[in-house]
Amino acid sequence: QTDNTHRPLTSLRSQSQEAEGGRVELKFVTSEAEEEGEVGPSSDVTALLLRYRHGYWRAGALLCVCGVVVFSIAFLLAYAVFSGRYHCSQAGGQGEEDEQPGGGAKAPAKGGAGLYLGELRVMMRKLLQDEDIYNTVSRVSRASHPPGSAEGTSLASEVLRRFRELHMDHTWTESLYATLQFPDRSRRSSLCLEDSAGLVSEQIPLNPSDFCPYSATGSTTVRQMVRQDDFNWLKSVGVSVSGCVVVIRVGGGVSFAEKVWLAERNGAGGVLIYPDPADVPQDPRRLGLNTHTAVSEHVHLGSGDPFTPGFPSFNHTQFPPIQSSGLPLIPALPISASVAAKLLSQLSGPSCPPSWRGRLPYVRCVVGPEFSSGRKVKMSVSNVMTPVLLNNIFSSLEGRVEPDQYIILGAQRDSLGPGAVKSGIGTAVLLELARTFSVMVKKGFSPRRSLLFVSWDAGEFGNVGATEWLEVGCVSQTELQQPAEIPTLSVCSPGDDVLTAYTSPLLVDLLDAAIRQVEHPKHAGQTIYSQAEREGGSWRILKPLYLNSGAYSFTAFAGVPAMELRFTEERAYPFVNTPLDSAPRLQEVLGGHLGVTGQSLGELVGEMVLRLTHDHILPLRITSYAQTVLQFSAQLNKHSAELQSRGLSPQWVFSARGDYSRAAETLQRAIDYSDLHDPTTARFYNTRIMKVQILHVSTTPYKYFIFLEHLYYEV
């Protein structure tokens, strides 16, 4: 080292703690000449540079410390400001889905507790209980409970009690009188064979509880009887059904009401409907329908009270003497397979085509119309019209942002038999979903729109309870009160294998998103969507709404998007609409998975309800009708020559389809580029979305009965 003025070699030492016993040295070393004591001008320059360099180090360290402090303060401020606005989902793997654009505003609803769709989904799955579903199905289907019966009234009181125990925002009952038809207790319906002298040669036994509601009453005696599978084929071979009793098989995707209407239109004098073993499994095991059991179903080609068509059934109100054009003018009776075999074995005439041949034992397939023994058949229907007090039971959870907009979940409660499928599963899933969503609300779920849970009465007679409620004015076509309706639970789950959705086209995307989230009840580890894709495509799930569906009235009469769901088996469930439709038999058919199947159905419905109550914009695909009309116009184009020969042209349908498609795409683009978090904007577009369905309904005031046939085929 040199003197204190010039120090070409500087040594800095920092003593550490005595416990550590170490040191750190930082040395700056000069050249060898300077080490030997040669001091020159370069030594001064070096000392100056070293002094400035030491200042830079100190300034750099100070800047780093200031930067860290500023960053920490900014981070803490940002956390304090935005921690309540953004919330992380607890559901693993749901982050991407919850960030979807378009209707799905995934931020918590105004006034909500900050729960995301993924969190709500996990909460709902934890709350749904399959054991409760099985117990409710067993309770509902312990005995027959038609409208107005003691068992039906007891069940209605129990459903009302269970709703009240949930302490939802509102629970109430709406009662009305409707005219229903039941068997006459003093005089039974009958079926017999008479000889040429008109004397009864054989009385055929019938079950007095088997009947077709709204059948024409009276008796008819004819010498001829024919099979019916295709009236056009009968005409082509010269067989007339005019004045004959027509024997028709259950099934074929055609309701009893349509079968009787077609027979009447072709001049038949009466109709007998039986379950053929080819359509309804019949075997000695309990899984099959026995040959002595008939299938009952109403024959009114329409919905609601047929004696107040287009008008609500107000209590104690006199109506003009008018009835629905859908009421048949010929008698109809359900018969068993054994009775059908007895009658058909005595027919003569041309042989049936191969596609008509059923599996009745020891019966040669001929179409009639003559009896080989010269006998005549006499059928007599003895039903009576009865005014019945109906009770629709409601319970609701109010929405926090749009409380006047409702998502409706409905289920049929009544049944002519035990009704495990017809009313049991639907009521069980309805009550379980009501319990689940009421608990979710208590735990922080804040639905944007209101939820309305409804137990409908008189569903067995053409959805009378639901239709009359619509006609009262609870759903208005001018003031939109129901943005979406899912009466999913009206008829459901005679199986656990194949999902079928009878739906309005507007709800297709909503269903598609839901089946991707719900596990299949029969195939563990597989979603309903993936299983459907394996079996030929998820598009097979979708079916158009049909007349007897609980959802039909909402779409056809009120212009509300509606859906009905059901799981079915590849092998038909044989006990629907029979006295054998009980919970033990359904449990046996499902292999002990009744509760699991009901839970999967409830989860599927709940998934759609979550989207409908959570998203700012209703998740309805407004462009869907463009594809629907395109398919219809393609079929219509096949008959263009016939239409033009009558002075008509299908060109207006093609033009209307193009106009609609362009308008729907314009509306969708406007929605995509709008601020959907603004409540006024969201409500404006939701109203326009809902008018898509409403504007497809005829504006004729009396469309219910004057244009019933036209409306039915149009929808």
Among 113-122, 199-208, 295-304, the least confident range: 113-122
Measured distance CA(158)–CA(149) in Å, rounded: 14
Identify the bridge partners of residue 273 per DSSP, sorted by sequence position: 248, 334
Measured distance CA(28)–CA(340) in Å, rounded: 115
Measured distance CA(209)–CA(189) in Å, rounded: 10
Mean per-residue pLDDT for 541-546?
90
Would you state the pLDDT for residue 245? 92
Would you state the pLDDT for residue 318? 65
Question: Is residue 433 domain-resident?
Answer: yes
Do 478 and 581 belong to one domain? yes
**Confidence band (pLDDT; 50, 70, 90) for 284?**
low
Mean per-residue pLDDT for 653-662?
90
Map 649-697 to HEC letters.
Answer: CCHHHHHHHHHHHHHHHHHHHHHHCCCCCCHHHHHHHHHHHHHHHHCCC
Q: For the segment 382-428, what is each residue's pLDDT rounded down to a tens digit?
A: 999 999 999 999 999 999 998 988 999 999 999 999 999 999 999 99
Do 28 and 148 belong to one domain? no
Question: Is residue 607 domain-resident?
Answer: yes
- pLDDT higher than 60, residue 712: no
Would you state the pLDDT for residue 47? 53
Domain boundaries, position 538: 117-182+391-614
Do 397 and 493 belong to one domain? yes
In what helix (H) or strand (E) does residue 270 lie, and over which residues does it extend?
Answer: strand 270-274
Question: At 230, phi and psi to the nearest 5?
Answer: -155, 110
Would you state the pLDDT for residue 373? 75
Among residues 44, 61, 78, the one where a domain terminates is 61
Among 73-77, 200-204, 508-512, 534-538, the least confident range: 73-77
Measured distance CA(688)–CA(682) in Å, rounded: 10
Among 36-45, 122-131, 460-469, 672-681, the least confident range: 36-45
Do 146 and 47 belong to one domain? no
Please say whether the dihedral angle defined by the alpha carbons of residues 177, 178, 183 and 186, taken in this order, is positive or negative. Answer: positive
Q: How many structural domains comprise the chain?
A: 2
Mean per-residue pLDDT for 327-352?
93
Do 450 and 549 belong to one domain? yes
Do 529 and 414 belong to one domain? yes
Among 139-143, 330-334, 495-499, the least confident range: 495-499
**Confidence band (pLDDT; 50, 70, 90) for 372?**
confident
Would you state the pLDDT for residue 484? 44
Q: What is the CATH number of the domain that holds 513?
A: 3.40.630.10
The CB density around residue 416, as the number of other CB atoms within 10 Å, is 26
Joined tokens for residue 243 = 């004045």
Identify the bridge partners of residue 67 per DSSP, sorted by sequence position: none
- pLDDT higher than 70, residue 49: no
- pLDDT higher than 70, residue 616: yes
**631: Cβ–Cβ under 8 A, 6 or more apart, which residues?**
none
Which of 269-283, 357-371, 594-608 holds the top average pLDDT? 594-608
Do 170 and 44 belong to one domain? no
Map 516-562 to HEC letters.
Answer: CCCECCCCCCCEHHHHHHHCCCHHHHEECCCCCCCCHHHHHHHCCCC
Question: Is residue 632 domain-resident?
Answer: no
Yes or no: say if 263 and 212 are a contact pair by the CB < 8 Å rule.
Answer: no
**Confidence band (pLDDT; 50, 70, 90) for 53?**
low
Measured distance CA(422)–CA(456) in Å, rounded: 12
Among residues 614, 647, 681, the one where a domain terminates is 614
**326: Cβ–Cβ under 8 A, 6 or more apart, which residues?**
257, 261, 300, 301, 302, 306, 705, 708
Distance, CA of 548 to chain centre: 15
Do 576 and 485 belong to one domain? yes
Mean per-residue pLDDT for 280-306?
86
Question: Is residue 242 domain-resident?
Answer: no
Helices (H) and strands (E) in the chain, counts: 20, 18
Do 18 and 166 belong to one domain? no
Q: For the chain, what percent of residues have pLDDT higher than 90? A: 47
Question: Is residue 135 domain-resident?
Answer: yes
Measured distance CA(291)–CA(205) in Å, rounded: 13
Question: Is residue 352 domain-resident?
Answer: no
Would you state the pLDDT for residue 14? 42
Would you state the pLDDT for residue 323? 78
Do 29 and 127 belong to one domain? no
**460: Cβ–Cβ under 8 A, 6 or more apart, which residues?**
146, 147, 213, 298, 412, 414, 415, 416, 422
Joined tokens for residue 32 = 């060898």
The CB density around residue 388, as the number of other CB atoms within 10 Å, is 21
Would you state the pLDDT for residue 317? 63
Q: For the segment 589-615, what is each residue's pLDDT rounded down to a tens digit?
A: 888 889 999 999 999 999 999 999 999
**655: Cβ–Cβ under 8 A, 6 or more apart, which residues?**
none
Tell which residue, 464, 461, 438, 442, has the closest CA to residue 451. 438
Question: Is residue 18 domain-resident?
Answer: yes
Measured distance CA(83)–CA(77) in Å, rounded: 10
Measured distance CA(276)–CA(296) in Å, rounded: 14
- pLDDT higher than 70, residue 477: no
- pLDDT higher than 50, residue 464: yes
- pLDDT higher than 60, residue 550: yes
CA atoms within 13 A on the CB side of 630: 10
Mean per-residue pLDDT for 22-47?
43
Measured distance CA(503)–CA(565) in Å, rounded: 8
Give CA angle at 445 (441, 451), nearest 5°: 65
- pTM for this prediction: 0.81
Do 46 and 172 belong to one domain? no
Q: Hunting for tokens 């036209």 — which residue is that? A: 710
3-state secondary structure (DSSP) of residue 596: helix
What's at 644, amino acid-wise?
Q
Would you state the pLDDT for residue 80? 56
Among residues 61, 80, 97, the one where a domain terminates is 61
Do 506 and 422 belong to one domain? yes
Question: Is residue 429 domain-resident?
Answer: yes
Mean per-residue pLDDT for 130-143?
94
- pLDDT higher than 60, residue 50: no
- pLDDT higher than 70, residue 328: yes
Tell which residue, 546, 534, 607, 540, has the closest CA to residue 568. 540
